[in-house]
Structure 1
Amino acid sequence: MMFLEFFIWGAWFVTLGTFLSQNLNASELEKANVFSTQSLGAIIAPFIIGLIADKYFNAERIFGTLHLIGAFLMYQMYNAPDVSAFYPYVLAYMILYMPTLSLANAISFRQMINPEKEFSTIRVFGTVGWIVAGLSISYLFKWDTGAGLLKNTFLMAAVASLVLGLFSFTLPKTPPVKRDTTESSSISEMLGLNALKLLGNKNFLVFFISSILICIPLAFYYQYANQFLSEIGLANPTGKMTIGQISEAFFLLLLPVFFSRFGFKNTIMLGMLAWAVRYLLFAYGNAGELAYMLIIGIALHGICYDFFFVSGQIYTDARAGEKYKSSAQGLITLATYGVGQLIGFWVAGLVSEYYKTNPTGDHFWQNVWLVPAGIAAVVLFLFAVFFRNEKATVNG
């Protein structure tokens, strides 16, 4: 289940920007509009989980149904002749896919005796699935070599979604959790808004704002990294981007060491610094003698993601206390994958549109990457100045 869940996402999302550019001749703002569907899905997902899945249906059944519908939508995306036809399907798909991330975790947790120890060994198969998808695109099928072959990624994702949808109905039964009749899940609780009280703490407020702002550089990577590597002529760009997922798994193991040795503030600042360094490497590297700069930039993904986002989840858990643990995680997810990346995708689109209409020689990609590098550096500076060092209790 976990392998296929992330295989499907990695099978088409990594190369989406390149596909939109090469196959559908999408403008920069049209790309931003398409990528924004992920954020819209993340915002809507809690309603699907909280109002439907948690109350009325077995998790594995709604999980399977969403993937079966997703297979149809993927096939329609495969057949879409232009962006205007493509957009409604990708929007509907993301609204249905994003809830499956929570459902996959819920199905897993309900079958475990000790989730803290068991879940990581299950979740790592998701990372493996993403890596296999990228390697398949570059080295097995060679779809990222041009000539419009990238549309086949949607067909591959559709088949995988169909398989997972059918397989889901064989998963262990995961019925809704019976709640006390006096309990009620308000919309504010589902969206994590109950945890807004935590923003009264200055440190948490600084972290919360930083989390939203750092998602702007993150969106540049999702939206343009594959297209950039393809256009400058790096061989097998999708396969090489899987180095980022391998790095993510590796640095996740090192995270507790950094936490205990350097503390939360320094660890998260290292994550922010990695974003700035990564984009500087992208800005000044090339596919020739400086290709190693691009590879290092990709490999920094582990530090970029783990040291900021995973550290942030741990910090949020420590600051929230028992009463607001789930609400606080929901709030951070809404702020980052919802609001932060929604802003980021549009900023990325506007920046690239600006440099396309105001060209400065052959420096288009260099100009584009210097913007998120600068944003990450500013967020790092503000966090360093306004966040007071503290000892967070880390569980597990």
Structure 2
Amino acid sequence: MNILKKKNLSISGHIIYFCIRFKSNSAENDLKKILSSQISEIKKNGTYKSERIITSAQNTQISVSGTKNSVLNFCANNYLGLSNNKDIIEFSKNALNKYGCGLSSVRFICGTQDIHKELEEKISKFHQREDAIVYASCFDANAGIFESILTPDDVVLSDELNHASIIDGIRLCKAKKFRYKHCDMAVLEDLLKENSSSRIKLIATDGVFSMDGNIAPLNEICDLADKYNALVFIDECHSTGFFGKTGRGTEEFFDLKQRVHIINSTLGKALGGAAGGYTTGPKELIDLLRQKSRPYLFSNSLPPPVVATGIKVMDMLMNSNELQEQIAENVKHFREKMAKIGFVIGGQDHPICPVMLGDAKLAAEMAEEMLKRGIYVVGFSYPVVPKGKARIRVQISAAHTIEEIDKCINAFTEVGKQLNVI
């Protein structure tokens, strides 16, 4: 009898498992149908984003899966050409040998090594600020700051074209939130007037807007901040290390001499191309972020080889301006020649050089034709950029030679004529 009961129980258990599994599969199949429909719509609209597979290190010349020969890379954030720098790699290897792969922990438990503190000291010195705090990415830095310092008694005023990480970070805080029309100082001033009684008034903006390559009017923003007793926060991911005479970004470009109160930026673009982000500013702010910033408190510390990369690059930037001068020369060459040919180039004298096309399908087709000619570029379309504003975002590096830039221009000219763009 006991054996029978056990068998019945076993059979019953299998039936229950089968029913649960069947139900789960049904729900999963429903989900797949819903998602497949959305993906089909994206493809129909010509905005589906395929990821190309790179089979080499990041450089001006790279190997791409599906192509026989190496191609010239004109769509990387490798502004200073340091992502595959041999001296940096060797320095990073030494850190790996000495400190290991990582600390398996968050910073405040057992995840801070002396090199983490050294990097933060160098970052604050480079930006001429009191202190700095390092995160796994600048997305994390942006996610962690607004919630930590702003309350319902405060207000944050954000440019409508700010990076997604700024937008998401602001969503997390309890302050009053307003978006002002892109770079529109009249609207920003009206919002500052309307919220003059707020405890903290924080203006948040990108220094350089990554999709357009245009520059925030930081001088005017700082003037308004002074007039209405507000703070200025700036994201310098597409400025730090290469923009401004010594690479100190938008603030240096406008010669504002530390009028920006909070700077967030990345180690993952011009500064070695690995990973990591940071906040630099007043010591009290950094102290508070170490106590309250959730991405800092609940994420592992940066791996030692990545930290070492940041240290080495910071030393290079503070010892020479050669790379900054080279990228400025390269940018001028590309922009002037492309405009003369008849292309519409967005932005303002910045290495981000958007070739404006308008149509999403045209941008995707043009990028494919460029790849056939050995030039690696990517078309950008909605939702990454506004509808009707599709473009190919060309990014110039200090590592590009003039000959490589001319090869890119010649390919654009040939494809542009083929597709009736010029």
Smaller-chain TM-score bracket: under 0.3
* Higher fraction of strand: 2
Higher radius of gyration, 1 or 2 = 2
TM-score, with normalisation over the residues of structure 1?
A: 0.24
Greater share of helix: 1
Question: Relative contact order: is structure 1 or structure 2 higher (C-alpha 8 Å, sep ≥ 6)?
Answer: 1
Question: So what's the TM-score if we normalise by structure 2?
Answer: 0.23
